[in-house]
Structure 1
């Protein structure tokens, strides 16, 4: 296909006019670092090794999420673009056989801020058009099986000879939108895998069956737990997630837990469902209610072992002080202003 060939030769050079989205959202650069080669419809990049990937794309800002060389590399660089469209972040996922998945986030409310629904619709339309031209195939619509009141999600899938693409976007509606227009855009993202990947993008969006099929075994989970002689408990193989600079800490932690149990639900999904604010964070009660409501759909049971309340916090400090006094350690003194993190750090020392 002529379009694919032209982009392949051009992709490793400077990408001109990288900014239809930045024009919509904020002033941005007119030059960018093109990620087109990673999303080649012929699948030319699948299977490359970690070292080879970093030699070629490390200059784009990709860094391993875990210490050393991990399974996922993430890049946040305002100059990144794909198909001449600006990108908030990009990631590359590796398996035993090398590169197996890449993705970009074109927009998220937490990273960019709110945008009018009309402009978001323009983003989606432009991205769909570029992907159709890039792949040379028409997209198919994917059904959303995880239906929640106030959440509207859609997805399109393109399957070329070497790669499959899933463009997914979501908006909050009604009372969830907190907007006079009744619609609040949440995110627009793209995932890409080999065309012969066992994870067929044409299957139902975030389907329950697909989620459970990636669940880990009980024996595998037990094998991740290690108890030290001093009583410390370590859990290994816990997925790393980078929330960025937005107030998605609770949503990002929840994504780590869900991925640990093999459930595919990311921080942007959780932020939308729990009503997270990029500035104010997440109401713990809303997050707990969201997890409970999703429990049945994702085969998870949520049990509360300890609820963090003001009274429980004071009781914990009293319990610590009794133990500290018996051991001859300094007790924790609480004043009119309490730094909760400092108190917990004191307990850990």
Structure 2
């Protein structure tokens, strides 16, 4: 059996989370492994881990996130990319998820199948040694998005679940093997002695009718959905899969962005194509008991018509026209949008496509009234926005409300608590829209 020190070396070398792990500022999270963690209050958590640098993902302080170099468990034996601590309504930790490896945050293209499986094996041995209890093989979880494999340790008052997943073969892209993620989940053992679904609990899924209770009506005219969980996608191009994770969690389905990244073949740099995202969500409908619907999707003919409307308005306004003609069989959408004037595009879309503009507003209001958040594809950089991490290009965010008095939509980006609730004129929102989708419970 390898020692904790040699396992640390294996992780630092193979995974690449901390190439020079000994030089990274140390941010140990060992107190989270203590038996008393489940009785800790949010204030106590804040005080104890302030020096380890974390962020609350919402004003409700129902989730805390650690991210960046130096994070580890068990005296540095297990380096981490990220840790998410979820709190109960009573304000105590309810479950914890530690990302040991994930494809989006770990840039290592040399981790082949043999080394990946060796890493899982060494983690299993190290955790068994630290807990002083043997593991039980859980096998594949057929209820998860990717049927991740795992091992379980029962050491009351906690249950531990080591999960891992990889892509075996992708012939279309010439990939024989691609590691996806390794994570450790921890949850309190229920009073009956059974773990909360072995630290991967599926919360009671809400019914479609019950979602209306989340809709709030304010005196200023705001109508919005409360209690939509926040997720911070970090610096990677995971906006679409992070948005999907938020909707799934809102419905009580424990699917995270790394699982969705595997299903949707998400790239860290270029993100997720709308077609692959929609295809991925459709694949999961039956397994996760949701329905996926399209309000507006990207279509070539509609895009060409939009460019035509834009050029007519640009000519009238004495602005430069743009071309949607393919080059070598490829349409460079970002380039076309980048050449547009945002105000001209807003005018052309709202004035020359009034039926589409009306449908957009009615659809948004109708879904929000039902308590259904809207997955909103946009092109950033066309119209001014407050400082955001991504200045231009394709992006996905959630529409969670509207205000008819002020003609605004209320939306949220998956970048942490400061992006939880923002607003924008509905005309601006329609101008930058590239797609509108939603998921809802089957019952």
Q: What TM-score comes out, normalization by structure 2 length?
A: 0.64
Find the partner of 1:196 among 190, 198, 201. Answer: 190
Q: Is the 8 A contact 2:83 2:98 kept in 1?
A: yes
Residue 43 of structure 2 is aligned to residue 72 of structure 1: no
Give distance in 2, aligned partners of 1:17 and 1:148: 29
Q: Return closer, same or farther for 1:30/1:176 CA change in 2, 3 Å cut-off.
A: farther
Find the partner of 2:155 among 128, 150, 160. Answer: 160
Q: Which has the higher contact order (CA 8 A, sep 6+)?
A: 2
Deviations 1:22-75 (A, max 9, x none): 1223322216322222023xx221121111101111211211012x35200001
Give distance in 2, aligned partners of 1:153 and 1:232: 41
Residue 99 of structure 2 is aligned to residue 109 of structure 1: no
Q: Return closer, same or farther for 1:258/1:344 CA change in 2, 3 Å cut-off.
A: farther
Give distance in 1, aligned partners of 2:215 and 2:261: 29
Q: Is the 8 A contact 1:215 1:262 kept in 2?
A: yes
- Give the corresponding residue for 1:341: 380
Give distance in 2, aligned partners of 1:52 and 1:321: 59
Larger CA deviation: 229-238 vs 112-121: 229-238
Q: Return closer, same or farther for 1:166/1:300 CA change in 2, 3 Å cut-off.
A: same
Q: Return closer, same or farther for 1:155/1:178 CA change in 2, 3 Å cut-off.
A: farther
Deviations 1:89-123 (A, max 9, x none): 11211111511222210000111123222222222
Give distance in 2, aligned partners of 1:146 and 1:28: 38
For 1:60-209, what aligned pairs fall within 5 Å after superposition? 60-66=52-58, 68-83=59-74, 84-95=77-88, 96-113=90-107, 114=109, 115-146=111-142, 153-175=148-170, 178=173, 180=175, 182-196=176-190, 201=195, 203=197
Q: Is the 8 A contact 1:332 1:343 kept in 2?
A: no
Q: What TM-score comes out, normalization by structure 1 length?
A: 0.80
Give distance in 1, aligned partners of 2:66 and 2:299: 37
Give distance in 2, aligned partners of 1:317 and 1:224: 39
Q: Is the 8 A contact 1:165 1:190 kept in 2?
A: yes
Deviations 1:241-279 (A, max 9, x none): 011111111110010111111111110110001111111
Q: CA deviation at 1:315?
A: 5.7
Larger CA deviation: 91-100 vs 114-123: 114-123
Q: Report the RMSD for the aligned CA atoms in angstroms.
A: 3.6
Count of residue pairs the alignment pairs up? 322
Q: Return closer, same or farther for 1:46/1:174 CA change in 2, 3 Å cut-off.
A: same
Residue 230 of structure 2 is aligned to residue 237 of structure 1: no
Residue 33 of structure 2 is aligned to residue 39 of structure 1: yes
- Give the corresponding residue for 1:10: none
Q: Is the 8 A contact 1:145 1:205 kept in 2?
A: no
Give distance in 2, aligned partners of 1:273 and 1:199: 34
For 1:270-285, what aligned pairs fall within 5 Å after superposition? 270-285=260-275
3-state DSSP of counterpart to 1:168: strand
3-state DSSP of counterpart to 1:46: helix
Give distance in 1, aligned partners of 2:311 and 2:193: 52
- Give the corresponding residue for 2:240: 250
Q: CA deviation at 1:230?
A: 8.2
Q: Return closer, same or farther for 1:310/1:197 CA change in 2, 3 Å cut-off.
A: farther
Q: Return closer, same or farther for 1:205/1:287 CA change in 2, 3 Å cut-off.
A: farther
3-state DSSP of counterpart to 1:110: coil
